[in-house]
Chains A and B, each alone.
Chain A
Amino acid sequence: MPVGPIELLIDPWSSGIDRRALLEVLLLGCVCGPLSFWVKSYRLAYPSESLAHGLLPGLVLGALAGAPLLLGAGAGVAVAAVAVALAGRDERIGSDTATAVVVSGAFGLGVLLALRPEAPTRLQELLFGDPLGVTDTDLAAAGGLVLVGGAALLLLHRPLVAVAFDRASAGAAGLAPGKVRVALLLVLAAAVAVAVQGLGSLLVLAVLAAPAAAVGDRASTPGRAMAAGAAVAAGAGVVGIYSSFHLGGAAGASVALALCAAAAVGGLRDGVRRRGRPGPTAA
């Protein structure tokens, strides 16, 4: 019997597994979409990727110890953040190179641990995530991230705007640009630790970078850019789960691809718009 459009929309919600997956991507989208605007504004895509990859040993050790993955991810992201911060001080070879070496080493260590025979969790779930496998605890963690991360972004909003716009003058206005950046990194680390449950160490970056790329420079205020990022992240997440449900693909990869497709469409749209727009007035 052919499936109608109503069934196409309703069916994923009738399965408990897919319902949880949909809730997970909606919750993550509410935080990671807005956060992606700041990742773009503060040029934190590379540090985000470093945190996501560098936490793998913690994630695997947590799994080996039978602890909740969130605990392992939290410890892993803390160690990765310290290691990345220390590596960034290496002036001999430059912070980017030092960070790349440290993160690659941590990632390799994580893979080595995950491939041990006694490792209970499959490596691919840690690397690529499994939104269909999220538990009630994972959903509670995502809900907590929405509350705490959302509150942090709300409180930090004006300093984040001022420092992103003009770091030199923000300091003179009484703000501490370095502390503002550290506060943002803490929110980012928390988001990575929670989102990695569903999207894995390799694909989590998609939800932290792609929404802002999809929104581009169309939004007239940071608040609107963040709201649009949330809509894109949640929408692409739902599209990914739906396509996984109906087409049978891997759910995590489907979500990541939907996010990147949104970013590609946004990039094309902005490119076309820029070609037809005059620049700012001279002088």
Chain B
Amino acid sequence: MSAAVTVEDAAVGYGGPPVLAGVTFSAGRGTSVCVLGPNGGGKTTLFRAMMGQLPLSGGRLWVDGRPAYVAQSGHARLDFPVSGLDVALMGTLGGRWWLPARKADRERASDALRRVGLADRAGIRFGELSGGQRQRVLIARALVQDSAVLLFDEPLAGIDPTSAETIGAVFAELRAEGRTLLVSSHDVEGALAFDAVLCLNGSQVAYGHPNEVLDRQALQDTYGSELIVLPGGGDGEPRHAVAVQHHDH
């Protein structure tokens, strides 16, 4: 299986000392990687480096094409007068930003909204949608970009079950199309459904198949005192672990 993402001993910072170092992993086409870590652990920093927004201070990083990025929905403005379709159309801006959207662009945006189950909400103002629907619109915008690699920053945080189910189905479709997904999350239980898990806490703690990686030691090294381990796992390993996170948005 050829790799869509290759990272070798990468270090990234914001002008000073690296805030993330020693990251080495490779993700094949059509695979999904859950990126676990506490707030400030380096998940978004890694994504920004993969998008070329932050230079590496060491190591190597290669991504197949320009990755699509879905930021946390809290970054988008709710008071701005755009509809779901307008937001999805922003995914077509890469090449010819100075021209109005073409009919083909509108069709791609409408198709993307249909994939996330929001065809009937395309004309609704973004700020009037529910939190889960807003997240799905942002995912539709990423789908329009037609990228081989897609980065999702906590896409399932605080959304309704219907939206979570739709997003899960879209993830499965994207993998089946041969696209590579990197999904940051605090959901340790949910990470078991991914092909691989990357644990970050300022540096790489672990990378590999969830069943091999998610042991007590790796989780404690990743989350430290922010981790609560609940009983219920087999073979003496924690399978029900909750990362306690405090969001500022």
Q: Hey, which bits of chain A sit against chain B, CB under 8 A?
A: 41, 155-156, 158-159, 161-162, 164-175, 217, 219-222, 224-225, 280-283
Contact = CB atoms under 8 A, between A and B. Distances in A.
B97 A159 contact: yes
A283 B130 CA distance: 6
Contacts, number: 103
B90 A165 contact: yes
Contacts of B138: 166, 169
Contacts of A282: 130-131
B119 interface: no
B247 interface: no
Interface in B74-114: 75-83, 86-87, 90-91, 93-95, 97-98, 100-101
A166 B90 CA distance: 10
B98 A155 contact: yes
Nearest to B160: A283
B93 to A, nearest CB: 5
Interface in B114-151: 125-132, 138, 141, 145, 151
A158 B158 contact: no
B101 A225 contact: no
A173 B93 contact: yes
A174 B76 contact: no
A222 B51 CA distance: 28
B127 A280 contact: yes
Nearest to A155: B98
Contact of A280 (B78, B97, B159): B78
List the 6 closest pairs (A to B, CB-CB), nearest first: A172-B69, A174-B94, A281-B130, A283-B160, A166-B76, A168-B71
Contact of B145 (A41, A173, A222): A173
B70 interface: yes
Given A161-B90, A174-B66, A283 B75 contact: no
10 contacts: A158-B101, A159-B93, A166-B71, A169-B141, A172-B66, A172-B151, A173-B93, A217-B79, A224-B81, A282-B131
B67 interface: yes
Contacts of B83: 220-221
Given A166-B71, A172-B51, A175-B97, 16 more contacts: A155-B98, A158-B100, A162-B90, A166-B75, A166-B90, A168-B71, A170-B93, A220-B81, A220-B83, A221-B86, A280-B127, A280-B130, A281-B130, A283-B131, A283-B158, A283-B163
B129 A281 contact: yes
A221 B82 contact: yes
Given A281-B129, A283-B130, A174 B69 contact: no
A49 B27 CA distance: 50
Contacts of B130: 280-283
B34 interface: no
Contacts of B87: 165
B216 to A, nearest CB: 33
Interface string B44-86: 0000000101000000000000111111000111111111001
A161 B93 CA distance: 11
Interface in B207-240: none
Contacts of A221: 81-83, 86
A173 B86 CA distance: 14
A262 B91 CA distance: 36
B45 to A, nearest CB: 13
B90 to A, nearest CB: 5
B218 to A, nearest CB: 29
B90 A173 contact: yes
B94 A168 contact: no
Contacts of B100: 158
A280 B145 contact: no
B93 A280 contact: no
Contacts of A158: 90, 93, 97-98, 100-101
Contacts of A168: 69, 71, 75
A280 B129 contact: yes
Nearest to B151: A172
Contacts of B93: 158-159, 162, 170, 173-175
Contacts of B81: 217, 219-222, 224-225
B114 to A, nearest CB: 20
A224 B76 CA distance: 20
A128 B203 CA distance: 59
Nearest to A281: B130
B142 to A, nearest CB: 8
